[in-house]
Amino acid sequence: MSMIRFEDVSVRYTGRSHPVLSHVDLDVAEGELCLVVGRTGSGKSTLLRAVNGLVPHFTGGLLTGRVTVDGRDTRDHPPRELADVVGYVGQDPLATFVTDVVEEELAYGMESQGVAPEVMRRRVEEVLDVLGMASVRHRALAALSAGQQQRVAIGSVLAAHPKVLVLDEPTSALDPAAAEEVLALLQRLVHDLGLTVLLAEHRLERVVQYADRVVLVPGGGAPLVIGEPGEIMATAPVAPPVVELGRLAGWSPLPLSVRDARRRAGDLRDRLTITQAGQPPAVPLATPPGAPLVSVRGLVVRYGSTVALRGVDLAVGHGEVVALMGRNGAGKSTLLASLVGMARPAAGRVSVDGAVPADLAPRELVRHVGLVPQEPGDLLYADTVRDECAQADADAAVPAGTAAGLLARLAPGIDPATHPRDLSEGQRLSLALAVVLAGRPPLVLLDEPTRGLDYPGKAALVVTLRELAAEGHAVVLATHDVELAATVAHRTVVLAGGEVVSDGPTREVVMSSPSFAPQVAKILAPVGMLTVDEVADALRAAG
């Protein structure tokens, strides 16, 4: 039985020269987990939002054709009339909560629909059991981990007993363990309850092995490509490391999980062991670190009665790229905030380029350090992308077109006349990165810089970060993206409970951690390689 049906659907937004989606035909069956993939800004979010009527009822634009969900035509039913059939969870659950407590949030949607109190009570208990969150029912939402918040967001729509669950980047802000929690929940909902799940996700290494089918959105209004995961991944322009390694090794069919790849990788591990002369080199420093650009000593930061950082020591030299890792709430963002003067120490000292960030005026601060926060919209205030880039060039006193050139590398094809709020999450992040990086401050801070970025965008970011390091800039990035850390970071610092629990060369830190090891390391262990590029280089060197 078809649960979601698109019939010759096209979507065009005002001011756009081309439709975002063009003549889309798609059927998603009941009880299917369908994964939507594609480049940043290709139209994935538009496709998802058309399922519950957000497109076009709230986002505007012109939708032609027909979208039906469980037989209901979204042209005739706005989102509030589809809430009992479709549950939609966006990228930032905390921003969508309307209450303060777990139990109240789970009940809110049912209250809006006029569900009887006795039915509401029963459903809340059922959802708490499904989520495994009965023990935190009275907890404040703000006090939960990101993984728990994501589960509550899912639970708040599940309580309405929908037949379809639509999720946009459900693991983008989660650490590896929290992401596994959410994906395990989705698996249970599909296989135990028969729920239909449609989700978009850039972190394909986390989710592609769970999908029944994959929908590739090429962008520019080009036709969708729909098929089995292995079939789509064989030629898709976006693919996780496990698939890239399979392509390099010539494996057929391509593996989609670490387990399947390890079963195929025996011969490859043997070849690499023979050709490998000791451990492969770590990511080399472009310049010797010399005197530290960043010096943190005994840093303590408190938010009220909560101690966010406890006696943290950190030194970062010129030309170094340092990854901050750790579970959600470990203190990574607080450490970045301290380096840019937004969080004042309760004890200890922070120095950047010989200055104390918290003591600098904004115009002086930007000459020392630039921060791209998790919410890129916080940096964007102009009415068009063109104006945003021009202002960034003027503020940084760099040649006109510098920011626009960086943006074109990170997210090509953006119309300069577009308002920043009309960009996709990944495009907004790319614009914020371009704005900050245009000034090339001595210290660049990035908080979850690949959230919403596709693989080509991430590759362009890596090139940019390497160029910055080669010029002597220091880069500190807080990330849950283990693949990014393995590719670009010279050192990795792991935080837990506001304390540094590990600080060393990235290879040593991630190889010893089952949570932070990238896919290639897990597949090829104990060979000791982290990325597909390292494997390719080793094979070429061996002839």
Read off the pLDDT of residues 187-214 as tens digits, 9 standing for 90 and up: 988 999 899 999 999 889 999 999 999 9
CA distance 129 to 135: 10
Give the pair of three-digit tokens for residue 382. 């102009």
Query: Of how many residues is the chain composed?
Result: 543
CA distance 108 to 402: 47
CB 123, CB 113: distance < 8 Å: no
Q: For residue 364, what pLDDT is reported? A: 85
User: DSSP letters of 370-416?
Assistant: EEE-SSGGGG--SSSHHHHHHHHHHHHT--TTHHHHHHHHHSTT--T
Residue 289 — very low, low, confident or very high, per pLDDT cuts 50/70/90? low
Read off the pLDDT of residues 20-50 as tens digits, 9 standing for 90 and up: 999 999 999 999 999 999 988 889 999 999 9
CB 46, CB 63: distance < 8 Å: no
Q: For residue 39, what pLDDT is reported? A: 86
CA distance 333 to 341: 12
CA distance 491 to 507: 8
Cβ–Cβ contacts within 10 Å for residue 122, how many?
12
| Residues contacting residue 205 through CB under 8 Å, at least 6 positions apart | 240, 241, 242, 483, 519
Residue 287 above 70 pLDDT? Answer: no
The answer to whether the predicted template modeling score (pTM) of the entire model surpasses 0.85 is yes
Cβ–Cβ contacts within 10 Å for residue 202, how many?
28
CA distance 107 to 278: 58
Cis previous bond, 56, omega within 30? yes
CA distance 190 to 162: 12
Domains and CATH numbers, the chain: 2-239 (3.40.50.300), 292-527 (3.40.50.300)
Residue 281 above 70 pLDDT? Answer: no
Bridging pattern class, strands 21-29 and 2-12: antiparallel
- 3-class DSSP state for residue 121? helix
Q: Is 541 exposed, middle or buried (0-12, 13-18, 19+ CB in 10 A)?
A: exposed
- Neighbour order of strands in the sheet with 2-12: 21-29, 2-12, 62-69, 72-73
Q: For residue 452, what pLDDT is reported? A: 79
CA distance 469 to 484: 15
Residue 288 above 70 pLDDT? Answer: no
CA distance 174 to 207: 13
Residue 75 above 50 pLDDT? Answer: yes
Residue 276 — very low, low, confident or very high, per pLDDT cuts 50/70/90? low
Cβ–Cβ contacts within 10 Å for residue 493, how many?
24
Closest by Cα among 441, 448, 453 to 336: 448
Residue 80 — very low, low, confident or very high, per pLDDT cuts 50/70/90? confident
CB 506, CB 323: distance < 8 Å: yes
Residue bearing tokens 């002839």:
543
Read off the pLDDT of residues 388-399 as tens digits, 9 standing for 90 and up: 999 999 988 899
CA distance 154 to 168: 11
Q: For residue 284, what pLDDT is reported? A: 60
Residue type, 524: L
Higher pLDDT, 338 or 283: 338
Nearest-Å Rg of the Cα atoms of the chain is: 24
Residue 533 above 60 pLDDT? Answer: yes
For the chain, give the percent of residues with pLDDT over 90: 59
Mean pLDDT of the chain: 90
Closest by Cα among 168, 152, 172 to 98: 152
CB 196, CB 103: distance < 8 Å: no
For the chain, give the percent of residues with pLDDT over 70: 97
Residue 283 — very low, low, confident or very high, per pLDDT cuts 50/70/90? low
For residue 55, the Cα-to-chain-centroid distance in whole angstroms is 23
Q: For residue 278, what pLDDT is reported? A: 45
CA distance 282 to 93: 37
Read off the pLDDT of residues 142-155 as tens digits, 9 standing for 90 and up: 888 777 888 898 88
Closest by Cα among 36, 113, 108 to 79: 113
Residue type, 42: S
